[in-house]
Amino acid sequence: MVFFLSLLIDGALAGAIYALIALAFVLIYKASRMINFAIGEWIMWGALLVGVGTHTVGLTPAAAIVFACVGMVALAFVFSRLVLRGMTRLPTIGAIMITLGLGRSCVVPAR
């Protein structure tokens, strides 16, 4: 019974995460009429900030989530000012390629 309850909670949490990711895709598409394939990288950065806040800084999980939210807002602001302002005059395919390229440039290669 404990195993079933564990699987049930695990599945519900995974489903909630997938629902939030789908909501992010829809929100970005409705706002910009562009499919942003870099959403996975943004989600990765948020998870990385939660992990850093928990393990490196030593925050509680709730404080690490707040830390990640503040970090992601700062990262989005910098990204908006440095990159997105120059993309407004580009064709849609150019904007998609830039988001893909920026996502790939942030990936750390395996050792």
Q: 78 and 64 in one domain?
A: yes
**pLDDT score of 56:** 92
Q: Hey, what are 30's tokens?
A: 């409705």
Q: 60 and 88 in one domain?
A: yes
Q: 25 and 1 in one domain?
A: yes
Q: 44 and 28 in one domain?
A: no
Q: Hey, what are 29's tokens?
A: 């598409």
Encoded amino acid at 14, one letter: A
Q: 111 and 71 in one domain?
A: yes
Q: 76 and 106 in one domain?
A: yes
Q: How many domains does the chain have?
A: 2
Q: Rounded to two decimals, what is the model's pTM?
A: 0.67
The per-residue pLDDT for range 21-43, each reduced to its tens digit, is 888 888 878 887 777 777 778 88
Q: 65 and 25 in one domain?
A: no
**pLDDT score of 8:** 94
Residue 102's domain comprises 36-111
Q: 104 and 55 in one domain?
A: yes
Residue pLDDT tens, the chain, 111 long? 889 999 999 999 999 988 988 888 888 788 877 777 777 788 888 999 999 999 999 999 999 999 999 999 998 888 778 777 776 676 777 767 776 776 665 555 555
**Helix (H) / strand (E) containing 20:** helix 2-32
**pLDDT score of 55:** 93
Q: 95 and 52 in one domain?
A: yes
Q: 13 and 57 in one domain?
A: no
Q: 48 and 16 in one domain?
A: no
Please tell me the number of Cα atoms within 13 Å of 78 on its side-chain side. Answer: 6
**pLDDT score of 107:** 52
Q: 91 and 50 in one domain?
A: yes
